[in-house]
Amino acid sequence: MNLRLFLLLVVIESLFVIVGFYGLILIFFLYFGSGAGATSDKAMLTENIGFGILFLMPLLFGILKFRNVTEKLKAKSYLYSGLLVTIVSGIYFGLNV
């Protein structure tokens, strides 16, 4: 495993997840508002799906790069960093992914 690539990927993917999390909160607030529309079933379902996709993106990216990269050391770095960021972000933001 390439440690330098691994750490770089962890930082970049973590920033992606954090910025995406706050971006989704802003988008959902602007779309559904803060009243009764924000507590509707449609809003809750949209929120769960959106955050689930957001937190699984690093893992999906790692799996795709693992399959397409020819060097196995780099491939393991992509896979392990995606797995680590997915698990940590799921625990940190309290998701049951």
Domain tally, the chain = 1
Q: Is residue 72, in this structure, part of any structural domain at all?
A: yes
Q: How far apart are CA 88 and CA 65, in angstroms?
A: 20
The one-character DSSP state at 37 is: G
C-beta separation of 97 from 22 below 8 A: no
Q: What is the pTM assigned to this prediction?
A: 0.78
Per-residue pLDDT reduced to its tens digit, 27-67: 988 888 877 777 888 888 888 888 888 888 998 998 888 88
Spatial separation of the C-alpha atoms in residues 15 and 75, rounded to whole Å: 21
> Residue 70: what pLDDT?
84
Is 97 within the bounds of a domain?
A: no
**Are the C-beta atoms of residues 97 and 52 closer than 8 Å to each other?**
yes
Statement: residue 12 has pLDDT above 90: yes
pLDDT at 97: 46
Which residue segment(s) compose the domain that 16 sits in? Answer: 3-92
CA distance 30 to 76: 39
Specify if 68 maps to a domain: yes
- Residue 59 CA to residue 55 CA, distance in Å, equals 8
Residue 37 inside a domain? The answer is yes
* 12-16, 28-32, 82-86, range with the lowest pLDDT: 28-32
The pLDDT value given to residue 95? 60
* Average pLDDT rounded to a whole number, residues 2-26: 90
Residues 6+ away with beta carbon under 8 Å from 50? 24, 28
Query: Which of 63, 81, 60 shows the shortest CA–CA distance to 2?
Result: 81
